Amino acid sequence: MDITFWYVVASIILIIIVLRIFAYIQKQQILRLIRTEYGVNRTQIYDGRRIDQVARYYYQLRSDSVDTLDDQTWLDLQMNEIFRTLDYTQSSIGSEYLYAQLRQQNKINANRFEEQVTYFSNHPNEREALQYEFRMMKTKDDNKFVEHIASESAFASFQTGVVSFMGIMGFFTTLYCILYPSSALEDGLGIIAIGIILIGQFMMSSAIYERTKDTWDTMIMFCKVFKKLKVLEKLDPNVFEDELKEVARIKKAMTSHASFVVTYVELTMGSSSANAIFYVIAAFYGLYGIALQQAKKLFIKNRGDILSLYDLIGHLETCIAVASYRQFKGEYCTPTFHDSASINAVSVYHPLIKKPVKNTKHVDRLSMVTGANASGKTTFARTLAVNVVLSQTINTAMATAFQFKLGNVYSSITISDDLLGGDSFYMAEIKRLKEMVSLSQGGTYTMFFMDEMLKGTNAVERIAAASTILDTFAQGDCFLLLTTHDIELTQLLGSKYSNYHFKEVTTDQEITYDYRIYDGITTGSNAIALLRVCNYDEDIVVEAQKRADHYGATNTWIA
């Protein structure tokens, strides 16, 4: 054979070897990055994914359940920030699923979930292999995959008549060049025709992509997701038996036709350097239009199975994220559950506080917490509520031990004016309270966490209304924790509600807190002392104290 032939063969082999080496180096770099990210502070490396994009899966497909954490409670408990610290996922699918899981109360099989999280904690090689595969999907945060699963109307309509016509012209041009190569080259007609068709097809391809961008990108993402079936088949059958059964079911349901369509789409609609030649050929013959139509039909026909596959990937990413989060936090426990409407917490703390003061307390079914400003009342309420939510969604509590009765969580902590709805602060608050009162009487055990009930109105009506509403809560099947400055409520409801308080130490120069919870009602206040600490004019501080002392002694105000 001619030596040139062997040069060509050697060159091809060398190129393949070099490409393999580069691929190996790239994979090792990504794996090192995955190892570096595992178990560290996620907020330092969070890539800025927008919460509204991540939340779409939840709102499109999961928010209709009565057991979801509602928007007000999510806001009250600063769950967006907690989600960010938990998001160790590698793909948008994982982020979206994790977000949805944090909002779905009482949904997980705790024992099964714990077994799988523990597996990933103890098997770094298997975990990293999965993380690598999920990262290499390279899913976009602003994809519309979920919208296409949720509704057929999300698919863009398009016509491929012109594309098909030009593809036919491309076929005949190719045939002409093969049958009459000399003529095609000499008169240049073949080259001119090929150029015109290529330019026209690329213009049509760009136009169709702009018109169908979301659907086009969704079909490409669908291919990436579908190909992970082979990856999921390698899961440990002793730990992921149910997941493997679901993988087998999905694979059988979608048939071998799906594999053909997926390969066809990747070759004709992708634009990576790996399939650049196929992409040009597909453009010349208009094959991308056929690929898009076939992928669309396959997707619509199998939306349920595609969602199941989406959920499988999301579930595995969530298990890995929780394993990573636990390693980062270090101090955590798996919760236990009992039938008593109370909370037993040992060394419980809030996951967002860098140097938290941990509290140990048995909190009764109906409780009020009093204390001075900034002493830790509201933080304690949030701490308990957040740990209940994390316990019910990811089987994890920030405590040495944490025990409670399973129930949906509702809160009223950061109510604000509804300018668009035309509601004042007080109106927004009483609407929220009415909703919570109704839930307490609905026959389903519910957990309520409130801060400063009815603070949007005057003291007399606030005490009268709040005490009556709290009486109503006491008749329902619920747990209720209220933080308040209204000592009168503790006196009026002392026979029904247990009392706890936080302390402070006040001097002329400063106010200090130990942030620990104690039994009983507070005996101190610091609102006026804080004026002095914040360097208010001394005349204001003295006069304010004088008026407060006079009211305390006579129950009347100085005119």
3-state secondary structure of 344: strand
The continuous run of DSSP H or E covering 511 comes out as: strand 511-519
pLDDT score, position 21: 86
Beta pairing, strands 498-506 & 478-483? unpaired
Task: Give the span between the Cα atoms of 483 and 490, in whole angstroms.
Answer: 11
Q: How far is CA 334 from CA 116, 200, 394, in A?
A: 14, 62, 9
- pTM, full prediction: 0.86
pLDDT score, position 125: 95
pLDDT score, position 198: 65
DSSP per-residue letters across 212-250: SHHHHHHHHHHHHHHHHHHHHTTS-TTT-HHHHHHHHHH
pLDDT score, position 270: 60
pLDDT score, position 9: 73
Q: Residue 423 gets which letter from DSSP?
A: B
pLDDT score, position 97: 95
pLDDT score, position 282: 66
Q: How far is CA 378 from CA 54, 228, 244, 485, in A?
A: 28, 45, 45, 11
Going by C-alpha positions, the residue among 153, 234, 523, 241 that lies closest to residue 370 is: 523
Q: How far is CA 37 from CA 26, 190, 314, 543, in A?
A: 17, 55, 19, 56
Residue pLDDT, tens place only, 413-433: 987 755 555 567 788 889 999
Residue ranges, the chain, pLDDT below 70: 1-2, 4-5, 8, 43-49, 158-198, 200-210, 212, 256-257, 264, 266-288, 417-423, 507-509, 526, 559
pLDDT score, position 548: 75
pLDDT score, position 541: 77
